[in-house]
Structure 1
């Protein structure tokens, strides 16, 4: 009897867990970013054979139907400037890593983190609170309209809350 009960509880917990996971499916943008994690850094790279920072953002946005130029400074000229506390997934975050203005870009993914092509680690997720990025942060830009955000960057359960 205990084995049957244990098997039933285990089966129920697996079904419950799988059901819960599918209810919070990643957005289209999350899936594109996740598929690129670990890709090596290549200067000038724009594909899963290797990315530079703006090549990575250009690739991700192209996969969701938005064209970006291949240069972080040019991407910085696009969109609407937004405050750090107003960022939502899909916003671009910019840094001055060279001492000569905007030289690095990533995609905000929520919870204080951003995806980017790091010259030392390849495509990775980093925290905006790491001192390296805090000291070099330039700003954030919103490229996507609210409708585009709802379609490609918001998790399915969050769509009803977006204004």
Structure 2
């Protein structure tokens, strides 16, 4: 079941969304992501998906989700997608571009639809749409360096 199936008003929820009750699993992280997360993951037919549930700690001065949190999430979701694609090899972000398309309200569940565009021996080119329900709220493109070679 997709989040958009649960949100008839295009992603804006009247009741708090519970990711765990819809098959999402929280990723444990005691580093920076532990401070701003949790980040959630879900295995689907098309691969791993990643998401986060925006909370009051994510707001900016306008009361919507801070762009820095959206960029942090894009970096983590694309990086985890690259890592999954390469059989868990470590990576480092060498470029990340994010375009903000719509404000994300506190309480909304943001998913990443990430994909590998191209892979060379040492680089992975990625792109993703970040969505709330059916709304695309940001687009991201980036390049990841594979740190371990075969």
Radius of gyration: which is bigger?
Answer: 1
More helix by share: 1
Q: TM-score, normalised by structure 1?
A: 0.26
More strand by share: 2
